[in-house]
Structure 1
């Protein structure tokens, strides 16, 4: 029986080599403008980012108001307060006036702005605090461009310096987010904060509308989108690693699916457990990683679906698409809740899945048919080659039924592994194929019954095939109840195999019993006890062979023997060769019949016959022979007809012929009792319909 295949089970069969640590890829995020930014920043100074007074306003007389205005323009608001983060830089200290007595000013509003080299060095050193300075410089540059008064070429040059620093900042931030599990939580929080700040600035710029025409449009920067792209790149790298070769019994495609499935599951579990608590909700970190891994998985599956795959790989593709991927990964205990709101969909479109399923069903049904035919061919060869059947618990045994049931069950299980609905579809088709096989099995068995009678192991193989019917019937009754008419399609061939087998086993016995039963009439029932004793001894000699049958079949066979004994006994009484004139003679015969009936019933019951319905047949007939009152005989006949609906006037006439002291009118009156409709149903078991009377 094909075991249910699960993702966990597949992973547990052969350990796969570990792939690199999740999100620990050493590559740096590529930057298309990195070389240009290095060159453009090499000549920059603080004057590139903090405009000189001359570049901002026209010269004016040095009045008090002019001096104040000049001082305001030299110190752009909002920048000096954040420059203090660059502690430790060596700057020239302004000496305080000796006469003032004031201490030297510390970093603060009077601190000079950082140079481009200092910002560059800070960013290269990973000091993401500089992101705030860079944003402030960008905003100040935009403000100056909007205010006018500065040379356009100078504005463009300064903007290029700002953008060069942004390239460096972006590479630093996305580089950290590319390897989040290798990054300290504090640093990760900083990088996430920078991306979130840039997203807010993108939205603010979009709401503000177009800026000065002098500056190139740099918003939106879309760093959140670039981070998502980085995740997709990492997912492709992780999923695209080729698994180690040499995995026993696995195709290249199977190994690739196992690697991708395990990698996706383990990585998403790490994201959910370790990253989701650290990332802001707007990043949708679990959904972003899940979609990236899913897209790579789906692209790989779609590519494979375009090729003409072997049956094994086509089945494996369906198994992953319809079962293992959605159930063992997406709905696994650790990920089901995390992915509940993430709509990933199927790895393949519905139309492609339907085509693959149709191909699978066709191939699998053909395989089942071929395997069943081959199993029957091998079994029939053993019969004709006179190979003795196996013995199991003392019974003749054949593996045919087990093989066929396993073949059909495996086909059904493979489909159910894909989806329950596909399992139901193939079950309906396999029902038809199983019924066809059983008819073929019946025909092959009948041919053997005709041609193999001279073989030494002929009868043992007949018994083995009868026993096969039990395994078939049990499996059908337990597993194939979807049939509208299972009796006709599946059970009828089994009944015929059993019936024909019984005929072979009983044929010689019944032939041997025939001359013994004839003695009853030849001796005019003078010594019925001795004749019956010889009959039962003959039956007893055949019983050891019957014990090789399964118990249920042995009981059925003994019931057939029981029926034959009662039937032949009645036939001998119905020969019209015995006419008894006196009541005493009739009572003596009735006593013999009663004694024989008890002997037959006891013998058959002790040897397993369940045919208790046969027990009244002979005693009631003896009572009809014994009784002398026509009314009493009528009542007994009426009761007899109720127990045995196939008891006819012909059978009654043959019994009444024994009573030589009964007038023709009385006999006719007794026979007419059978004309009365007593609501008798058709017989469920045949007895008198098997007895022909002249």
Structure 2
């Protein structure tokens, strides 16, 4: 999603219309009327960094002030009519002929240019007239302070000076309205005039009586207002059509983010070298764009947003805007000292994040439940599972993991902190769906035993446990206390699945183990070989399990063989009264133990913990000295802490030459605490004696 929404370097992305750029050659600055006509130009024109001068000169005035402005403009026109009296209308020389004429004449005469001469210079766009005009203004203030002119004369002269300043202001701010369109030298002239006027504003004292107050003129403030209006104009335009599949809000965010980034990069690269440092041109544009961007997002946030738009709003506010715009490679250094802040207040962001978390967790929960429902329907409909690399395969684990991962990734794409918050919430939902999975699987085991693909689907679900376990242990690195509720349903599911797969095999082995009776213990090898042969024939049935689960299944087979053998020994049907008989039985048991161990090792059982189970029992039966028997029993109890007095009594019952007191003494050894840990795996707790 982030790659799709990033507005820089999109595949096939054409440059945004109106991206700021210098023209191929310097163009003539348009007049006010031309500026008005250009308002209908392409909406993405980069010329509109600054709005029309009419808005700059008189911002935020009410209707009464507008009326006054109209009256004033008429008065200004009357003043200029004075300048044109007596001038030729026909045969007038061209601008090329008269360019520089008034200034050169003034220099030759050693005087300031006249008002008419300055007006002519300003109408021709000659910003050099700003210096003489400033001198003329100072001369007027000096005359007023000295009382060298009547009040009527002062008003008349000030009116002409202010009319000239109106022309100069229009020229200067007109150039700054489209700064990238102006030739660099021309732009430097306008900026020099603006800087000089700003200095004059700061230095100006209260005007003498007889003159209206005209300072400060605040042209720098007018320029900043123009920048703000340019930002509103640029960002306020409707986003371009296209971008199918995106919502209106997404297209708006993308348009504003790309426009702001491209415009600020142009300002930093092309305007900053020309502007005086004290103007803070990059900061001025950045603050204006940021303010309007924030206002637009605040307006969007007032509406009841869909889940997708809530997510995208947070992504822009918390991730894309601060990282891909403000801290982009070309802007990070330029904006380092500019405190733009967040696009939305912290309280509103928290509310939006809470809304996102709630809706995203609900969506994840619903999607996982739907995936489980579809999977259980396939089991019931006897649909064969897929085969992947020779193993039965189910997509359920992959589907649920993807759903969880996507929810996690969405939150992290906003902020890493939000990703941490949603992780704990998703763990709770994952534990719940795994418990539902366990129950659904148990229902399948009970109700669908006769289906053709029953065993294949059982193995597919056992194999699922590996994907879940790997994901939780490696991807999320979940702490053990949080991992237990997740692994418990999976372990139970695997255990029930093993039982289902081994049920028929163990049922076939039961009558074979029953052959170990009073008469058959004398020659038990043939019986055990037949048992092992049956097991070996059934092993291919489990080949479609993952190797780790096949090993666990072989361990379960190994455990079953040892357990059933001990059960037959513990039936109290065999009593041997002589040491020779006991030694002979011990030899048979030891041989059988070696046969079981060799076979189970070959088929892949990792259950080395079972290797002592039968040989040590054989040694207890072989030994005749009660003290030696006690040592073997004590050792045996450290290996198998669930070996109880009842189990010991059943084995000692075979030794018919022990007295009751000797049996009691041997049993008492189990009263001693050996310090053994509780067994992680059970053997004798699975064997009932009595």
Q: Alignment partner for residue 621 of structure 1, among 617, 625, 633?
A: 617
d(CA) in 2 for partners of 1:39 and 1:484?
Answer: 89
User: Is it true that 1:185 corresponds to 2:208 in the alignment?
Assistant: no
C-alpha distance 413-146 of structure 1, shift in aligned 2 (>3 A): same
Per the TM alignment, residue 223 of structure 1 is displaced from its structure 2 partner at its CA by: 0.7
C-alpha distance 659-482 of structure 1, shift in aligned 2 (>3 A): closer
Is the contact made by 2:589 and 2:615 (CA closer than 8 Å) also made in structure 1?
yes
Q: Alignment partner for residue 334 of structure 2, among 331, 334, 338?
A: 338
Per the TM alignment, residue 561 of structure 1 is displaced from its structure 2 partner at its CA by: 0.9
Per the TM alignment, residue 341 of structure 1 is displaced from its structure 2 partner at its CA by: 0.7
Q: Alignment partner for residue 43 of structure 1, among 82, 88, 99?
A: 82
Per the TM alignment, residue 618 of structure 1 is displaced from its structure 2 partner at its CA by: 0.7
d(CA) in 1 for partners of 2:543 and 2:372?
Answer: 26
SS of 2:392 mapped into structure 1: strand
**Residue matched to 1:51:** none
Is the contact made by 2:404 and 2:426 (CA closer than 8 Å) also made in structure 1?
yes
Structure-to-structure mapping, 1:440-589, within 5 angstroms: 440-481=436-477, 485-521=481-517, 523-589=519-585
C-alpha distance 222-3 of structure 1, shift in aligned 2 (>3 A): closer
d(CA) in 1 for partners of 2:424 and 2:669?
Answer: 53
Q: TM-score, normalised by structure 1?
A: 0.87
User: Is it true that 1:157 corresponds to 2:156 in the alignment?
Assistant: yes
C-alpha distance 18-4 of structure 1, shift in aligned 2 (>3 A): closer
User: Is it true that 1:427 corresponds to 2:450 in the alignment?
Assistant: no
1:67-104: per-residue Cα shift (whole Å, max 9, x none)? xxxxxxxxxxxxxxxxxx9743599xxxxxxxxxxxxx
- Residue range with higher mean Cα deviation, 28-37 or 637-646: 28-37
Is the contact made by 1:587 and 1:625 (CA closer than 8 Å) also made in structure 2?
yes
User: Is it true that 1:24 corresponds to 2:47 in the alignment?
Assistant: yes
User: Is it true that 1:227 corresponds to 2:226 in the alignment?
Assistant: no
d(CA) in 2 for partners of 1:638 and 1:504?
Answer: 37
Is the contact made by 2:391 and 2:546 (CA closer than 8 Å) also made in structure 1?
yes
Per the TM alignment, residue 567 of structure 1 is displaced from its structure 2 partner at its CA by: 0.5
- Residue range with higher mean Cα deviation, 369-378 or 666-675: 666-675
- TM-align CA RMSD: 2.4
User: Is it true that 1:125 corresponds to 2:124 in the alignment?
Assistant: yes
Is the contact made by 1:463 and 1:501 (CA closer than 8 Å) also made in structure 2?
yes
Structure 1, unmatched stretches of 5+, are 48-84, 92-105
SS of 1:43 mapped into structure 2: helix
d(CA) in 2 for partners of 1:269 and 1:238?
Answer: 15
- Residue range with higher mean Cα deviation, 145-154 or 277-286: 145-154
d(CA) in 1 for partners of 2:138 and 2:106?
Answer: 22
Structure-to-structure mapping, 1:129-278, within 5 angstroms: 129-205=128-204, 208-209=205-206, 211-278=207-274
d(CA) in 1 for partners of 2:19 and 2:507?
Answer: 83
1:332-391: per-residue Cα shift (whole Å, max 9, x none)? 122111111101111111122122111111111111111111111111110111101111
C-alpha distance 644-13 of structure 1, shift in aligned 2 (>3 A): farther
Per the TM alignment, residue 4 of structure 1 is displaced from its structure 2 partner at its CA by: 6.8
Per the TM alignment, residue 405 of structure 1 is displaced from its structure 2 partner at its CA by: 1.1
Per the TM alignment, residue 9 of structure 1 is displaced from its structure 2 partner at its CA by: 6.5
Per the TM alignment, residue 475 of structure 1 is displaced from its structure 2 partner at its CA by: 1.4
Is the contact made by 1:547 and 1:554 (CA closer than 8 Å) also made in structure 2?
yes
C-alpha distance 4-631 of structure 1, shift in aligned 2 (>3 A): farther
d(CA) in 2 for partners of 1:527 and 1:24?
Answer: 105
C-alpha distance 161-491 of structure 1, shift in aligned 2 (>3 A): same
C-alpha distance 439-259 of structure 1, shift in aligned 2 (>3 A): same
d(CA) in 1 for partners of 2:328 and 2:481?
Answer: 41
d(CA) in 2 for partners of 1:420 and 1:159?
Answer: 64
d(CA) in 2 for partners of 1:113 and 1:43?
Answer: 19
C-alpha distance 13-427 of structure 1, shift in aligned 2 (>3 A): farther
SS of 1:278 mapped into structure 2: coil
- Residue range with higher mean Cα deviation, 571-580 or 218-227: 571-580
SS of 1:391 mapped into structure 2: strand
- Residue range with higher mean Cα deviation, 4-13 or 343-352: 4-13
Per the TM alignment, residue 669 of structure 1 is displaced from its structure 2 partner at its CA by: 2.7
d(CA) in 2 for partners of 1:378 and 1:493?
Answer: 20
User: Is it true that 1:649 corresponds to 2:662 in the alignment?
Assistant: no
SS of 1:333 mapped into structure 2: coil
Structure 2, unmatched stretches of 5+, are 22-45, 58-68, 87-97
d(CA) in 2 for partners of 1:678 and 1:349?
Answer: 65
d(CA) in 2 for partners of 1:567 and 1:336?
Answer: 71
SS of 2:515 mapped into structure 1: helix
Per the TM alignment, residue 151 of structure 1 is displaced from its structure 2 partner at its CA by: 2.9
**Residue matched to 2:40:** none
Is the contact made by 1:17 and 1:244 (CA closer than 8 Å) also made in structure 2?
no
C-alpha distance 108-682 of structure 1, shift in aligned 2 (>3 A): closer
Is the contact made by 1:7 and 1:324 (CA closer than 8 Å) also made in structure 2?
yes
SS of 1:199 mapped into structure 2: helix
Is the contact made by 2:472 and 2:478 (CA closer than 8 Å) also made in structure 1?
no
1:214-240: per-residue Cα shift (whole Å, max 9, x none)? 222111100111111111122222223
Is the contact made by 2:572 and 2:650 (CA closer than 8 Å) also made in structure 1?
yes
Is the contact made by 1:375 and 1:403 (CA closer than 8 Å) also made in structure 2?
yes
d(CA) in 1 for partners of 2:385 and 2:357?
Answer: 35
Per the TM alignment, residue 113 of structure 1 is displaced from its structure 2 partner at its CA by: 4.2
SS of 1:396 mapped into structure 2: strand
C-alpha distance 176-121 of structure 1, shift in aligned 2 (>3 A): same
Higher Rg: 1
Structure-to-structure mapping, 1:348-497, within 5 angstroms: 348-481=344-477, 485-497=481-493
Per the TM alignment, residue 648 of structure 1 is displaced from its structure 2 partner at its CA by: 1.9
C-alpha distance 119-108 of structure 1, shift in aligned 2 (>3 A): closer
d(CA) in 1 for partners of 2:3 and 2:110?
Answer: 73
1:254-307: per-residue Cα shift (whole Å, max 9, x none)? 122112111211221222222222211110111001111111111111111111
- Residue range with higher mean Cα deviation, 532-541 or 36-45: 36-45
Structure-to-structure mapping, 1:308-327, within 5 angstroms: 308-327=304-323
Q: How many residues are matched?
A: 639
d(CA) in 1 for partners of 2:428 and 2:337?
Answer: 44
**Residue matched to 1:674:** 670
**Residue matched to 2:101:** 88
d(CA) in 2 for partners of 1:19 and 1:601?
Answer: 81
Q: TM-score, normalised by structure 2?
A: 0.88
C-alpha distance 622-574 of structure 1, shift in aligned 2 (>3 A): same
**Residue matched to 2:43:** none
Is the contact made by 1:398 and 1:464 (CA closer than 8 Å) also made in structure 2?
yes
